[in-house]
Structure 1
Amino acid sequence: MPRYALKVEYHGAPFSGWQRQSEHPSVQGAIEAALGRVEKREHSIAAAGRTDAGVHGLGQVAHCDMEKDWDPFRLSEALNYHLKPAPVAITACARVGEDFHARFSATWRQYLFRLVMRRAPLTHDKGLAWQVPHALDAAAMQAGADRLIGRHDFTTFRSSICQANSPLRTLDRLDVERVEGPSGPEIRFHVKARAFLHNQVRSFVGTLERVGAGAWTPDDVTAALEARARAACGPVCPPHGLYLAGVGYEPDPFDHI
């Protein structure tokens, strides 16, 4: 059966998360339903990451197996037609070998988190960014973020229901960027690793917000990391500022598109 890689963009607000659920809408379920209209049978797809309820996708990657040898562009167009009106879009589609797996072939994953600093309620960015009513010190947050780079036991920064076999992960990038966003001053966190623990990025951001607000110091971040205890983590921020921004592969199946 021909296999295709799909690059997927979605607004996470209407969904219970990526993973298919019997009683709640999911991104996976929406795509599998669209596939069922393109080829009338049961479909099961796999993705690079299972994002939680409210989390968005800019560059999620999934793969599907088809019976027909589809032109990739025509397949993406057909899926986008049948995905309407769900806020899900296939932004790229590529034919891949049968050994390609969206999850297990990935060499890195990158997340973006958006935090807007303003007191007035968000309108255009409501549900797309975490709003805090006070100013934050981006330089202090970066100093705290630097304490997390590298290979560590991240027990403190993973959910108590995380199913990963080990809390050891290597964090390649955690950049804190202050920009003037469309809704006002914004802090953007760019986070990259081969793999993440459940709630790891949201735990990082919630903790670093405390540093930016002056309630914590970068040394407190180090102490929390070394505690290897969930209770030592700062507040976990809400999901709606988080985006799965991209997934890396060698070779990249979308390079030629």
Structure 2
Amino acid sequence: MRMALGVSYQGRAYAGWQSQPTVPTVQDALEKALARFVDSPIVTLCAGRTDAGVHGLMQVVHFDTHADRPDFSWVRGVNTFLPSDIAVQWARHVPQSFHSRACALRRRYVYVVLQSPVRPSLEAGAVGWVFRKLDHEAMDKAAQLLVGEHDFSSFRASACQALTPVKTLYHVHIHRRPGRPVEDGRADTRHSFEPCYWRFEFEGNAFLHHMIRNIMGCLLMIGQGLKPPEWMAQVLAARSRDAAAPTFSPDGLYFAGPVYGPQWGLPERTPAYDWLP
């Protein structure tokens, strides 16, 4: 039978999703736990691979097995053998025609940034960080220039294995979550802005290697006033990685999961969606 699992994880301790022979990966940890649970080797296929340090709110995997267990048993049983920073959120029996990657209609990513004069501590590894105030209107104007079908070569890593750089970005939403205002009148006015979190949401049919992190690098340059919003169109049109900003940190990047058609009956979100700033 074929099973689908929704898996969440903190990526900081792992060299990405995909199995590698000499470093810890999320896939290796999951497959090891599955093998212990059913006492047989299991190979998983995922909806979208994540890089080192990138987190997963709802990675979806599928695999074939002879083990016949209730859905809740797959969740609790497999989690018994997983490290504390990886957890199966749900399990479903699915038809043999289901494929976690091929059946995904869209994919979603979220990037969380802390805007603060002081670097993150409790959130270290879970958020990106900027120490300058960000301009919401400028970033949103630049982000909308990316919506639609485009050649995203300027945001493509050299190691990208995608067959084409042409992808469709359906929307980019930027939200600001206010923090506590700085009230110390003695503070240096250059750094006494209100600390807050920014949440950048991306949804597209597919994404290139490092595409979101490279877009984030450009958006944050624009948000800090280092480039005008119109610069984003110039970067996109250049179709050259050299035209864009440096790749931003993986710390605040979350794979929010794929979007499937209703015929599969799979969950669309996990509780982690509501925890994330």
TM-score range, shorter chain: over 0.9
Residue 254 of structure 1 corresponds to 266
Does the alignment pair 1:188 with 2:199? Answer: yes
Q: SS of 1:112's equivalent?
A: strand
Which residue does 1:203 correspond to in 2?
214
The alignment-based identity, stated in percent, is 37
* CA shift for structure 1 position 75: 1.1
Specify the alignment match of 2:127 in structure 1: 129
2: CA distance, partners of 1:210 / 1:113: 15
Aligned residues: 255
Partners of 2:226 and 2:177 lie apart in 1 by: 22
For the residue of structure 1 that corresponds to 2:203, the secondary structure is strand
Residue 255 of structure 1 deviates from its aligned partner by: 4.5
Tell me the TM-score normalised to structure 1 length: 0.95
Of the candidates 85, 88, 91, which is equivalent to residue 87 of structure 1?
85
Root mean square deviation of aligned Cα: 1.7
Partners of 2:47 and 2:257 within 8 A in 1: no
Runs of 4+, deviation exceeding 6 Å: none
Structure 2 equivalent of residue 29 of structure 1: 28
Residues 17 and 53 in structure 1, CA contact (< 8 A), matched pair in contact too: yes
> Superposition pairs for residues 1-257 of structure 1, below 5 Å?
2-83=1-82, 85-180=83-178, 184-251=195-262, 252-255=264-267
Q: CA deviation at 1:11?
A: 0.3
Whole-angstrom CA distance in 1 between matches of 2:154 and 2:87: 35
Structure 2 CA distance, aligned partners of 1:245 and 1:116?
19
Query: What SS does the corresponding residue of 2:230 show, helix, strand or coil?
Result: helix
Distance 2:7 2:268 in 1: 17
Residues 123-169 of structure 1, C-alpha deviations (whole Å, 9 max, x = no match): 22111001111111011000000110000010001111111111100
Name the SS for the 1:225 alignment partner: helix
Distance change in 2, residues 1:106/1:134 (3 Å): same
* 52-61 or 170-179, larger mean C-alpha shift: 170-179
Residue 184 of structure 1: how far off its partner (Å)? 3.9
* 1:256 positional shift: 10
Query: What amino acid does structure 1 have at the position aligned with 2:85?
Result: P
Instruction: For residue 199 of structure 2, give the secondary structure of its aligned residue in structure 1.
Output: strand
Q: Distance in 2 between matches of 1:37 and 1:184?
A: 45
Is the contact between residue 8 and residue 61 of structure 1 (CA under 8 Å) also seen in structure 2? yes
Question: How many angstroms does 1:76 deviate by?
Answer: 1.1
Does structure 1 conserve the Cα–Cα contact (< 8 Å) formed by 2:47 and 2:100? Answer: yes
**For each residue in 1:15-61, what CA deviation from the matched residue of structure 2 results, as whole angstroms up to 9, or x when unmatched?**
00000111111100001000110122221100001100000000111
Range with greater deviation from structure 2 (182-191 or 56-65)? 182-191
Q: Contact between 1:158 and 1:230, CA under 8 Å: does it hold in 2? A: yes
In 2, Cα distance between equivalents of 1:42 and 1:256:
28
TM-superposed CA distance for 1:196, in Å, is 0.6
Q: 1:58 & 1:153 partners in 2: Cα distance?
A: 27
Deviation at 1:236, TM superposition (A): 1.1
Please, which moves more after superposition, 86-95 or 49-58? 86-95
CA distance in 2, matches of 1:255, 1:57: 15
Shift of the 82–13 alpha-carbon distance from structure 1 to 2, 3 Å rule, reads same
Instruction: Tell me the amino acid that sits aligned with residue 134 of structure 1.
Output: R
Distance in 2 separating the partners of 1:143 and 1:188: 16
For 2:20 and 2:40, the matched residues in 1 are separated by 18
- C-alpha separation between the residues in 1 aligned to 2:159 and 2:12? 22
Where do 5+ consecutive residues of structure 1 fail to align? none
